[in-house]
């Protein structure tokens, strides 16, 4: 019975290590999802700012063209 008990003990320890590894992976996935969400929010904010700046630049260029024509 000694060998069987040793094997069962090794199996239990291996399963425990696998469970810990799975938990770390799940935590890492959560962190990556959160980071991706934050990056997408930052991108959306930057895109809105870029659109605003582009519109103001276009308006300024139009005003300069009109000033140079007139």
| pLDDT tens digits for range 4-58 | 888 888 999 999 998 888 888 888 888 888 999 999 999 999 999 999 999 999 9
Beta-carbon count within 10 A of 3 CB: 7
pTM (2 decimals)?
Answer: 0.58
pLDDT given at position 23 = 84
pLDDT given at position 30 = 87
Length reported for the chain:
70
pLDDT given at position 66 = 95
pLDDT given at position 1 = 61
| Residues in contact with 21: Cβ distance below 8 Å, sequence separation at least 6, in sequence order | none
pLDDT given at position 27 = 82
CA distance 14 to 38: 36
């Amino acid at each position: 019975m000694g060998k069987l008990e040793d094997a069962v003990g090794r199996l239990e320890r291996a399963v425990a290590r696998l469970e810990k590894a799975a938990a770390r992976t799940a935590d890492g996935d959560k962190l990556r999802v959160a980071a991706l969400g934050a990056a997408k929010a930052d991108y959306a904010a930057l895109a809105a700012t870029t659109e605003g700046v582009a519109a103001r630049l276009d308006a300024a260029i139009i005003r300069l063209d009109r000033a140079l024509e007139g």
